[in-house]
Amino acid sequence: MSVAKIALEEHVAPSGIIDRDRELFSPEAWAKMSRELVDIHGQLLADMDRHNVEMSVLSLVAPGIQHMTDPKRAAEAAQRSNDCMANQVAKNPKRFQAFAALPMNNAQASAQELVRCVKELGFKGALVDSFSSRDSAESVLYYDLPEYWDFWGTVASLDVPFYLHPREPLVSRTLFLEGHPWLRTSSWAFTLDMATHALRLMSCGVFDKYPKLKIILGHLGETLPFLMWRVDNRIKASPRGIPAKKPLNEYFKNNFWVTTSGQFCTQSLMETINWIGSDRVMFSVDYPFESFAAGATWFDGVNAISEADWTKIARTNAEKLLGLGTEKQKAATV
């Protein structure tokens, strides 16, 4: 296919942000991170050019802000990160846009920062790692909690998407993986946590209050397209006071979008389209944890869908969801 693609889950760390968290990485990982995550206008742009990717929507690499337990430090780091990201986008806005990092251990501060990022910096929404910590590294805050509902109202009123992204679950909460470290990260634990978090959001009633709220999930929906029927079937058999007014699959089909990030499997893509529809699937890579060579080569070779659906997934769904190509966006890139 010759249509240029748009990618939505591409992680970077502007210089001056990742440097402050050097201690979070091993020396070997730091060397790789500092090369691939910081060189936005060099290596990343070259990878995009090689694989016909017109635009990447950038986001702060995990663990980002969510691992910070001090709300004040988290808010300062989020603002600093977003300012740096805005500076990077300003250097080449026709090729890069950005999602905001947010200090989600303080819902009010997150709402204020998202408003600033969207209205002043021109960001296209937010990308936040699943669950935040507050005061203790062992604390876990999921975003269905009542303290976040006003925040969700802000997201809905801004009409921008919220990309819910994985982070590694706490060992203390995943004892069923004990002795199986190969399942603790992106191979399985990320997906398990993310799918559960998304189901919590669907269950709590927040989409009944804010029916226009938009959520993005990576990795072709974190297994949910394959499981929603059973989830609803078993809840129907034993609802146990669930607050949501509708079957959960209705929220999934009406309030969620998914990307191909890190899930370069045609059979999985087809099943996802069958469940959620081609209008809600978007191309992404998950750079630098996955390569543009792998993601783009796979997607460019997918011939099991129509050209119209391929083009939707490649770019037009993202254009519509993020408001790319609108008069407002054109003005921002002049």
Tell me the two tokens of residue 299: 């997607």
7 close to 54: Cβ distance less than 8 angstroms? no
DSSP label at residue 285:
-
Q: What is the DSSP string of 112-133?
A: HHHHHHHHTS----EEEES-B-
CA 31 from chain centre, in angstroms, equals 25
193 is catalytic: no
| Nearest partner of 301 among 317, 312, 314, 288, judged by Cα | 314
Tell me the two tokens of residue 221: 């929906």
Give residues with Cβ within 8 angstroms of 46, minimum separation 6.
none
Q: Rounded distance, CA 72 to CA 207, Å?
A: 29
90 close to 40: Cβ distance less than 8 angstroms? no
Q: Which of 129, 144, 193, 286 is catalytic?
A: 286
Range 244-251, long-range pairs (CB < 8 A, 24+ positions) = 244/202, 244/203, 244/204, 244/205, 244/207, 244/208, 245/205, 245/208, 246/208, 248/199, 248/202, 248/203, 251/201, 251/202, 251/207
Q: Rounded distance, CA 101 to CA 82, Å?
A: 6
The CA-CA-CA angle for residues 172, 262, 23, to 5°, reads 50
| Nearest partner of 232 among 244, 247, 243, judged by Cα | 247
Hey, which residues are catalytic here? 286
